[in-house]
């Protein structure tokens, strides 16, 4: 995975807040930059690909690591 420009740790937050916080974080990123979202809510695995498709950002992948999930998102170029 590409090196993230920013890492957002949403551990302990329940859905839909990891996505709410992702949306805010992506807004402040440069186009093409990568955001790494860490979540302890399993919902991220289904929510993140759908959110990326809806908002036309690129979902690079979501992986489980122990009790958390790591999700990589590239901000779309407008």
Partner 1 sequence: MQKQGKAIAMISGGLDSTLALALVRRQGIEVKAVNFYTGFCITETQRRKGGRADGSVPRNEALRAAADLEVDIEYVDISGSEYLDMLVHPKYGYGANANPCVDCRVFMMRKAKAIMEAEGADFIFTGEVLGQRPKSQRRDTLRIIERDSGLDGRLLRPLSAKLLPPTIPEQTGIVDRELLEAISGRSRQRQMELAKELGVVDWPQPAGGCCYLTDESFAKKFFDVLDTREAAGEERRIVPEDVVLLSTGRHFRISPRAKLIVGRSEVENALLEHHVPGRARLEAKDVLGPIALVEGEPTWEERMLAARIVARYGKGKDAPKVAVEWREGELVETYEVEPERDEARVEALRI
The reply to whether 52 belongs to the active site is no
Smallest Cα–Cα separation from 20: which of 1, 40, 44?
Answer: 44
24-58 b/e (C-beta count within 10 Å ≥ 16 → b) = ebbeebeeeebbbbbbbbeebeebbeebbeeeebe
Give the Cα separation of 19 and 13 in Å (integer).
Answer: 10
The nearer residue to partner 1, 3 or 54, going by C-beta atoms, is 54
Of the listed 5, 6, 15, 55, which one is catalytic?
Answer: 15
The nearer residue to partner 1, 9 or 49, going by C-beta atoms, is 49
The binding site for partner 1 (CB under 8 A) comprises: 14-17, 19-20, 23, 41-43, 46-47, 49-51, 53-56
> Residue 3 Cβ, how far from partner 1 at the closest point, in Å?
27
> Residue 27 Cβ, how far from partner 1 at the closest point, in Å?
10
Place of tokens 């990891």: 18
Active site residues: 15
């Amino acid at each position: 995975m590409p090196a993230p420009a920013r890492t957002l740790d949403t551990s302990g937050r329940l859905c839909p807040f990891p996505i709410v916080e992702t949306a805010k974080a992506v807004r402040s990123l440069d186009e093409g930059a990568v955001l790494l979202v860490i979540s302890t809510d399993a919902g991220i695995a289904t929510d993140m690909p759908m959110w990326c498709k809806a908002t036309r950002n690129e979902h690079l992948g979501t992986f489980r690591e122990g009790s958390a999930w790591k999700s990589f998102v590239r901000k779309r170029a407008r």
